[in-house]
Structure 1
């Protein structure tokens, strides 16, 4: 995929909100509220939320509990079944999560296009570090040297997006051992810190914002 250079008159404003470590339920409710506001008033600006979560497992709408290695009813961990697509995944500090709230009518009302654009944001970030981010046929996400470093799961309501992507920057990956991540047993999860020791999440957060603006041709406006 070739990244085009945005032209000023095409740039759509997009508010950037950096939330830090945020409980999953809080971020989930915030997304739903933002989506409903934009369904009621499609002229509202788009928003990109960048944050981290405390340890939490989430399952997509149709996710199979067989990919959990524990009983979700009696689990000692926080578990949520949510309205995104995809199977089970894990969030924790050191993993950068991005929730774009975009009205795809202003871009392309095409879910496959949107998923590929989210992957492209990650791939372009990795290029800054000479890391070869790859897609895999039949899957959604980004891999480096066979390790899945970024997961993507979305929900779109009346062409307004929610949920989004997670990029493993420097997390403790042991939480993934309690699940079969994304329902893929033979493709290990990894982090950027495996390839770039001492990498800081703040640095990657800045790169994500920059590349998101380029790939989606928006003008990010900090709104914290």
Structure 2
């Protein structure tokens, strides 16, 4: 059974970590085959296992004035931004039921984004040197994962109508030669709720699973 959790309100990064931890425990115990969170975060910069503090371009005072958290996390990759207008997907999956191959898993997450973008007539693609999904040499989606006992945490982000001034405060993923874009740069009148539903369909298609929406209160997952 694969559960889908879609919080209605924006979630702090700390709350998101608690939700993932609880889901991991349930999947590890065999109560679910997987739990997939689709949400938006309150503004936060996250720094992965490959570093990233050197790519933070603003002071602690500026971060405090703009109410932006900075969190060190155990996912792969460098520094990135999460916030309103950007969909974040956390698939907590038991890869023993798929393939025990991290490259297959990351590639499948990228394929979910590429399939979603195609429904808006946007041609997303992969770069051999960098993770994530790209459109016209600009990054539209970041991917960073962590695996423990072949159960996944963290996941992907997709820019829909995100405020790109946040990305000017960092070198996203440590990359300086490419820009950041959103779906709204190519399509007008985009509703983020519609993108979420298309993304759900793409996830089911790529991973060949059926997601059942869980009506359990958001607060239950955060405890």
TM-score over 0.5 (shorter chain)? yes
Moved more, 41-50 or 124-133: 41-50
Deviations 1:14-69 (A, max 9, x none): 11110131111001111012213322x13523111000011111000231311111
Given candidates 74, 81, 90, the residue that maps to 1:90 is: 81
Q: Which runs of 5+ in 2 are unaligned?
A: 216-223
Assess, with a 3 A threshold, how the Cα gap between structure 1 residues 177 and 74 changes in structure 2: closer, same or farther.
Answer: closer
Aligned residues: 211
Structure 2 length-normalised TM: 0.91
Residue 70 of structure 1 deviates from its aligned partner by 2.4
Deviations 1:141-184 (A, max 9, x none): 00111210000001111011010000000111110000000011
Residue 84 of structure 1 deviates from its aligned partner by 0.4
Q: Which runs of 5+ in 1 are unaligned?
A: 1-12
Contact 1:72/1:79 (8 A) holds in 2: no
Given candidates 168, 183, 199, the residue that maps to 2:190 is: 199
Give the 3-state SS of the residue equivalent to 1:196 in structure 2: coil
Query: Where do 4+ consecutive residues of structure 1 move more than 2 Å?
Result: 36-39, 42-45, 70-75
Structure 1 length-normalised TM: 0.90
Residue 73 of structure 1 deviates from its aligned partner by 8.5
1:66 aligns with 2:54: yes
CA distance in 2, matches of 1:80, 1:63: 12
Moved more, 69-78 or 21-30: 69-78
Two-structure CA RMSD over aligned residues (Å): 1.4
CA distance in 2, matches of 1:133, 1:81: 29
Assess, with a 3 A threshold, how the Cα gap between structure 1 residues 158 and 72 changes in structure 2: closer, same or farther.
Answer: farther
CA distance in 2, matches of 1:43, 1:33: 12
1:216 aligns with 2:207: yes
Which residue of structure 2 lines up, in the alignment, with residue 167 of structure 1?
158
Which residue of structure 2 lines up, in the alignment, with residue 10 of structure 1?
none
